[in-house]
A and B are shown apart, each in its own frame.
Chain A
Amino acid sequence: MAYRWGMAVDLDRCTGCEACVTACHAENNIPTVGAGQAARGRAMHWIRVERYYEGDFPDVRVKFRPVLCQHCDAAPCEAVCPTYASHQSEDGLNAQVYNRCIGTRYCGNACMYNVRFFNFFNPEWEKPLNLQLNPDVSIRSVGVMEKCTFCVQRIKAAKVLIKSENRDLKDGELQPACAQACPTTALVFGDLNDPESRVARLSHSPRGTKLLEDLGAEPKVTYLQKQAWYEPDAH
């Protein structure tokens, strides 16, 4: 059976430590553009932790929301791409095919989550940082859009592995870097087509909502959060 990768993000567990952001940068060879370019809006973070403040001083609470590509089923970024660089993969991933991308940046505009990033220049790593690059991940060249892939290189490797060992994938065996790095296990990744997987069960949780759900993009990332009407004791 085909996989359908998805994620659940437990906002009640997220402490905003940004370990996911760091892990993602390290895993996916995301260039750090430097202060000058970052000030010009060229910073890239496939996953970012949005901070929102609630209440008035001094009674202020901070809310964190990790935002990554939502891998929407009806992704607005896909249909607008004239070259199919952005399309739905057979596993339901929101694929970004770098070699096919000509850099219209239309997908970046169409994405309501602003989780697509553009290589304004060719990336470069100063010695010895080039030695820490992940050999399993492409280095994206200038003029190409990039975004969260749910660590497709890990998915690919796991698929090859289970095929060579002739077995099924175990739930939790495969994790993207962000979920792996999360100290509070706020990020849960897995196969939504497997009803027994943790992510599938969490996605149906009454605490779950989708980000900008009313826009109809049908995201595959579920945000879990204490709801006003939800009383855990009632269950």
Chain B
Amino acid sequence: MKAVYGLYAEPELAQQAVDNLRAAGVADADITVISSEPFEHFEFGHRDAKTVMPWMAVVGGLVGMTTGYLLTSVTQMAWPLKTSGMPIVSWWPNLIVIFELTMLGAIVASVITLLVSAKLPGSRAGKLYDPEVSDGYILVGVENPSDPARLEPALAINGGRVKSVES
């Protein structure tokens, strides 16, 4: 992997670097921003905020609800045993189990969506990263740039450091 990137201590500088890269003609999808905290209040921080996760949670909830319904009613009908004069499929108590499984379905579905869409667990091998991010620096860079020399000035902002990765 080849890459060129800058490390910035302040988010304002990172925002500037992202803007400069765009001005230099880099597509938004090719710009990698890596930070040790979320930057919701900066434009670069929510470039990719759109997600289907809430819908997946709803779908997961519906799957859980169906599971709960089938589990409580089908298993009770499979071998009907009378207790306390209650109906074999008793709705009031079954609703409790159905509710719990609905919530479990929603939670598990959102976590699966998170793992899939955020590519976790994943390997960092061959991907742009710098351990200095952990010290609070924000990394703005481009992986496999077609013309690294042209991007370096865009990243060279006063207060930032430009690094590059060869091979």
- Whether A79 and B86, one on each chain, are in contact in the complex, defined by CB atoms closer than 8 angstroms, is yes
Is B121 close to A, CB under 8 A?
A: no
- Whether B82 and A87, one on each chain, are in contact in the complex, defined by CB atoms closer than 8 angstroms, is yes
Is B51 close to A, CB under 8 A?
A: no
A-B contacts at CB below 8 angstroms, number: 26
Highest count of chain A CB atoms <10 Å: which of B84, B85, B86: B84
Closest to A92 in B: B82
- Whether B81 and A84, one on each chain, are in contact in the complex, defined by CB atoms closer than 8 angstroms, is yes
Q: Which residues of B contact A74 (CB under 8 A)?
A: 84-85
- Whether A84 and B85, one on each chain, are in contact in the complex, defined by CB atoms closer than 8 angstroms, is no
Chain A 58-96 interface 0/1 with B at a Cβ cutoff of 8 Å (1 = within): 000000000000000111101101001011100000000
Residues of B in contact with A, size category:
under 10
- Whether B81 and A87, one on each chain, are in contact in the complex, defined by CB atoms closer than 8 angstroms, is yes
CB distance from A75 to the nearest CB of B (A): 6
Is A194 close to B, CB under 8 A?
A: no
Q: Which residues of A contact B81 (CB under 8 A)?
A: 84, 87-88
CB distance from A209 to the nearest CB of B (A): 20
Complex Cα–Cα for A202 and B84 (A): 25
Closest to B76 in A: A84
Complex Cα–Cα for A87 and B84 (A): 7
CB distance from B97 to the nearest CB of A (A): 12
Q: Which residues of A contact B83 (CB under 8 A)?
A: 75, 78-79, 81, 84, 86-88
Is A18 close to B, CB under 8 A?
A: no
Complex Cα–Cα for A73 and B84 (A): 6
Which residues of A (79-138) have their CB < 8 Å from a CB of B?
79, 81, 84, 86-88
Complex Cα–Cα for A47 and B29 (A): 80
Q: Which residues of B contact A84 (CB under 8 A)?
A: 81, 83
- In order of increasing CB-CB distance, the 3 nearest A-B pairs are A78-B83, A79-B84, A74-B85
Q: Which residues of B contact A (CB under 8 A)?
A: 81-86
Can you list 19 contacts pairing A with B, beta carbon distance less than 8 Å?
A73-B85, A74-B84, A75-B83, A76-B84, A78-B82, A78-B83, A78-B84, A79-B83, A81-B83, A84-B81, A84-B83, A86-B83, A87-B81, A87-B82, A88-B82, A88-B83, A88-B84, A88-B85, A218-B85
